[in-house]
Amino acid sequence: MIGMHALLHVIFASGFLANRPVRAALAVGGGTAVVSAVVGVFTVMRGQSFAAHALGDVSSAGGSASYLLGVRPMVGFIGMGVLAAAGMEWADMQDARERDLATGVILGAGLALTALFLYLDTTSGSASGAAIAILFGSMFTLPATIVLPALAAGAVAVVTVGALYRPLLLSSLSAELAAAQGTRVRLVGLAHALALALAVSLSAMSVGAILSPALLIGPAATALRLVNRPGLAMALAALLGIAAVWGGILLAYDSYYWTPGHGWPVSFFIVSLIFLGYVVANVARSSRK
């Protein structure tokens, strides 16, 4: 019993659950993992992980602009992400073969803006930590007031995917089959892109814009290796995502005690755990065959 207590004390370093930034990080991170799982399974099935990556980079332009404008980073992330998602769908509507090109060009433009805004952020001096926070995340500096709006934005994405579950599956299977059943394939695609923008923005706030696709694609891709049903894949991806995010937060908190004076970045731990899960799932799957 005493041994167990000692072990728990080593795992949950003192004050972990009582710490306010930790609680905000657990709430936003856990919510983000669930939203990422639900949206991410469709993103993987539709072969749009490149779009997810581009949206993450573009939303960082919004995040960095928000420091200059003095608004919440979340507003900037989501606003820019939604604009970029709509732009990609519009380009797809003009010419489906242009989709990848348009995504690439929008990605470049977004990063250029990010470079400009981050430069202005750092030279203005008021937000010197902005660059690291935007690009690589800073879960422990999330204000408690962000928890509710972030979870609300996530809920919008989850409800959208839930409402369009069957038309999304059908159009992921084949756009032609969906159109023949009277599904408005473009509208469904646009709705998915907007849900994706929300998920990527949340993910960017948690693990940073650069690493956001890892949280979106990693657990979903891992789950799709292991189970045969989309609904089950979402549930499994959510569990894997929560495990990685909460595990990463715990390790980052503990790391303050490993190297006294400074901790290790939480995003590093989260993405490492996701990567580890993906490798293990692949090994498990190939050894089963």
Partner 1 sequence: MNAGSELLSVEHVSVSLSGRAVLRDVNFKLAPGELCALIGANGSGKTTLLKTILGLVRPQSGAVRMAGASGRVSGMGYVPQKISFDPNLPLRARDVVSLGFDGGRLGLPLPSRERRARVDQMLNAVGATGFAERRLGELSGGQQQRVLIAHALVRRPRLLLLDEPLASLDVRSVAEIVLLLRRLATEYETSVLLSAHDMNALLPVMDRIVYLANGSAVAGKPEEVVRTEVLSRLYGYHIDVVRVHGRVVVIAAEAPDEIHAAIARDPIHTAEVP
Task: Catalog residues that contact partner 1 under the rule CB under 8 A.
Answer: 45, 47, 162-167, 169-170, 172-174, 176-183, 224-225, 227-230, 233
Q: CA–CA separation, 252 vs 12, rounded Å?
A: 11
Instruction: Give the CA-trace dihedral at 237, 186, 212, 235, to 10 degrees.
Output: -10
Max Cα–Cα distance, the chain, nearest Å: 67
CA 224 to centroid of chain Cα atoms: 17
How far apart are CB 45 and partner 1 at their closest, in Å? 6
Nearer to partner 1, 129 or 162 (CB): 162
How far apart are CB 214 and partner 1 at their closest, in Å? 19
How far apart are CB 73 and partner 1 at their closest, in Å? 33
Q: Which of 61, 145, 72 is nearest to 110 (CA)?
A: 61
Residue pair 253/19 in contact (Cβ under 8 Å)? The answer is: yes
Nearer to partner 1, 164 or 251 (CB): 164
Nearer to partner 1, 28 or 170 (CB): 170
How far apart are CB 79 and partner 1 at their closest, in Å? 27
Residue identified by tokens 């408690």 is 144
Nearer to partner 1, 9 or 166 (CB): 166
How far apart are CB 63 and partner 1 at their closest, in Å? 33
Nearer to partner 1, 74 or 188 (CB): 188
Exposed, middle or buried by CB within 10 Å (0-12, 13-18, 19+), for 72?
middle
